[in-house]
Amino acid sequence: NAGVMQNPRHLVRRRGQEARLRCSPMKGHSHVYWYRQLPEEGLKFMVYLQKENIIDESGMPKERFSAEFPKEGPSILRIQQVVRGDSAAYFCASSRQGANQPQHFGDGTRLSIL
């Protein structure tokens, strides 16, 4: 039973390009969470999604960032027109439906902007 799968593990982009980060939740999990860890800083919540719905996007920057979790396929975190400040580790977690279910984390995607 695979855990939360994130790909790619490492992603290098030049300024102005688009970055797409993928997250496949654990089997049976319908909730997905994205977190960002900037260099030398703690984790920060970005967005919480269920299938085809954004539940809480209060941690997402207002511009250039978007997230989706379609009916079929992985959740995607998309960053348009990347800038140096987007360099970070992006973690995805998933959980079952229901209040206060434990979250299971992926290994993260390390995004580097040249």
Peptide bond into 8 cis (omega under 30): yes
Binding mask 66-105 for other proteins (x = CB under 8 A): -----------------------x-x-x-x---xxxxxxx
Q: According to the binding rule CB under 8 A, does residue 2 interact with other proteins?
A: no
Do residues 88 and 77 lie in contact, with contact meaning Cβ atoms separated by under 8 Å? no
Give the range of 19-27, 51-59, 65-73, 77-85 binding other proteins by CB under 8 A: 51-59
User: Do residues 87 and 111 lie in contact, with contact meaning Cβ atoms separated by under 8 Å?
Assistant: yes
Query: Which part of the chain contacts other proteins (CB under 8 A), choosing from 17-25, 29-37, 61-69, 76-84?
Result: 29-37
Per-residue HEC secondary structure of 43-89 comes to EEEEEEEECCEEEECCCCCCCCEEEECCCCCCEEEEECCCCHHHCEE
Residue from 14, 42, 63, 71 touching other proteins (CB under 8 A): that is 42
Out of 38, 55, 83, 114, the residue judged to bind other proteins by CB under 8 A: 55
Measured distance CA(113)–CA(65) in Å, rounded: 15
Q: Of these, 1, 58, 71, 72, which contacts other proteins (CB under 8 A)?
A: 58
Pairing mode of beta strands 109-113, 10-13 = parallel
Binding site for other proteins (CB under 8 A): 31, 33, 35, 41-45, 47-48, 55-56, 58-59, 89, 91, 93, 95, 99-108, 110
